[in-house]
Amino acid sequence: MALIPAGAFRMGDDGAEGFPADGEGPARSVYTDAFLIERTAVTNAAFERFVAASGHETDAERYGWSYVFHAALHPEAARAVMDAGVPGVPWWLAVRGATWRAPDGPGSRLAGREDHPVVHVSWRDAAAYAAWAGKRLPTEAEWEKAARGGLEAKRFPWGDELQPGGEHRCNVWQGEFPRQNTAEDGFLATAPVRSFRPNGYGLWNTSGNVWEWTADRWSATWHTAKRSETRNNPRGPDAGTARVIKGGSYLCHASYCNRYRNAARSFNDEDTSTGHMGFRCASDVGASGKGPQDPQL
């Protein structure tokens, strides 16, 4: 885990490329206490150890289905596609049998993806893993502070250019979304958790690859809240079951969703899972931070 020092940082964005409805702005100074955060998203191998030790059944396994991106669907899973989808985003398919063990639907396997981020995990699954590991999910403010890597007011963990010097620094979509991904960055879907360069705090893939769950309930409105009530959550609590996700994913593209920026944010319901959402854990300073049963790859 990486130690993130106590102090204020500039959170959010006032830029025109953001999404006002997402509540990215205004840019403001936010204080966090020191905390620990995992350098990578939780891997398939680590999640498998958790399931073996705890017997945990994910929401996708209990419900019997999850969402798979159409281009990632395994050929054997075509018959498992349900007559249900997400309005306005037909590229998301509801697939019976899609779980963390079968990320592209029935017929797909984890072999060769042990060091990829676990997907098809809901917020509730992520919280259960964190509790088992003696950790917790990071707040949104903690996540964004860690993702910025110590840089102030930059679009990405490495600066303001998506591809400085033509170099790919994250796993996002290249080509024409949602039909053609040229995979110029080397990956059609998820990448190993230690792909590309780590940021200034030693964290990998906080832009792209998979969306990551945070502890915070979703609110699209900035308001002042007492830190003691919100664990340094600058937006405060909100009703409902939606939770904040951060970081974007391998499906993000400037023509449709450029939410792979540091300030970007979105949400999903606590029991929802997809093939492009994962998580990483955090811990308070002074705690052991790492349980004996959860060594990362």
The tens place of each residue's pLDDT in the chain, 297 residues long, gives 999 999 999 999 988 888 888 999 999 999 999 999 999 999 999 999 999 999 999 999 999 999 999 999 999 999 999 998 788 899 999 999 999 999 999 999 999 999 999 999 999 999 999 999 999 999 999 999 999 999 999 999 999 999 999 999 999 999 999 999 999 999 999 999 999 999 999 999 999 999 999 999 998 875 433 333 333 344 433 447 899 999 999 999 988 889 999 999 999 999 999 999 999 999 999 744 444 344 443
Query: What contacts 24+ positions apart, CB below 8 Å, involve 183-188?
Result: 187/250, 188/71, 188/72, 188/250
In a domain, residue 183? The reply is yes
> What's the confidence (pLDDT) of residue 222?
56
In a domain, residue 279? The reply is yes
> What's the confidence (pLDDT) of residue 241?
86
In a domain, residue 16? The reply is yes
In a domain, residue 243? The reply is yes
Please spell the DSSP secondary structure of 170-231, one letter per residue: SB---EETTTEE--TTS-SS---TT-S---TTS---SSBSSEEEEEEEP-SS-----HHHHT
The domain containing residue 28 runs over which residues?
Answer: 2-42+123-284
In a domain, residue 55? The reply is no
Q: How many distinct structural domains can be found in the chain?
A: 1
Strands 211-217 and 277-278, how do they pair? parallel
Instruction: Write the CATH number for 26.
Output: 3.90.1580.10
Rg (alpha carbons) of the chain, rounded to whole number: 18
In a domain, residue 214? The reply is yes
In a domain, residue 61? The reply is no
In a domain, residue 93? The reply is no
Tokens coding 194:
């230690």
